[in-house]
Structure 1
Amino acid sequence: MSQVKSVMIVGVGGQGTLLASRVLGSAMLHCGADVKVSEVHGMSQRGGSVVTYVRYGDKVYSPVIDKGEADVLMAFEALEAARFLPWLKTDGTIVVNTQQIDPMPVVTGSAAYPENIIGSVKAEGAKVVAFDALKLAEQAGSVRAVNIVLIGAVAKRLSIDKQVWIDTIKETVPAKFMDMNLKAFELGYNAQEI
């Protein structure tokens, strides 16, 4: 490890962002990095926007990621990717699930869900890895595995050996869900972006 790297995890409450941050942080620890993981910020119990920061390197003094500092933005939902785009570094990468989850203003009819969000994010110049993580999670055996699918896609873009990720998943998820989560990781790792 050398310089500090930052991964920002954004999503909607109930999508598994907390487990994703635990897996990311544990994988970095296995590599000997100093790791700081923030707590979940947002309305995680109510389907609101949630954000978690994972920072790692030789010496990390704070878990907080400021605008323009995230090396990777892991977005569980397309609108969240657009909302948190300002936190991404100029040469950063967004790994985004193309799933659409309507926020409350859309549900109540007071707003419309924006069209072509992925295209808009790409137009800003960001490196975007977009794919249907929900579909891959279903292939793995459960829609609840979206978080591990996204971990797989992020893992492929970080300079950490694949086996470290697999070992971390084995240590982190309950044994009864192991096969499903390992399959979800592989599907995310090999996901074809759209």
Structure 2
Amino acid sequence: MSLKEGSRRRGQELEDAILDAAWAVLDEHGYSGFTFEAIAARAGTSRPVLYRRWPQRTDLLLATLTKFWAGQPIPLPDTGNLREDAITLLRRAGVGRARMITLLGTQLMDYFRETGTSFSDLREQLLPADRRRGGFETILARAVERGEVPDVPRSARVVNLPFDLVRHDMLMTLRPVPDESIIEIVDEVWLPLIR
């Protein structure tokens, strides 16, 4: 057996190398540059190897996003206090997701145009049903159980407003949201709405 054959990547090692290369290509060139040729070259493999695993470019894109976005949930805080949980969750989202949200929002525009879908559709497709419930729904449900806020109907838009505002700020500035803005969103906008 030659050295080349002995060092050939297979299985999970090869798949990880391809998905890492795909992520790098998406980050650098967007969906328009997200081609089998570019990804195979970056991964040091051939296009047929990619086609065997992912017959369509969108299949490879979804696998890449599953690994780098959907596969990395933000840990939910449970401090015993709604305000602290909300601020902590937004801080974690800012640290862990600012770059990701910017990338998804800007680099996937061609994908959304081509498929006629939206970021919301993509989220539904990638996240398992048990993770579609937003973090704010969970921390609010815990606060209701503790008797911290009344158990009244609230629209999903109101419940998830803090993350929507933070995501908007990230997309508008292409930076993580400053801590003072996070506190303002929670204290001056969200908590008065849900109490």
Normalising by structure 1, report the TM-score.
0.26
Specify which structure has the higher proportion of helix: 2
Larger relative contact order, structure 1 or 2 (CA cutoff 8 Å, min sep 6): 2
Normalising by structure 2, report the TM-score.
0.26
Bigger Cα Rg? 2
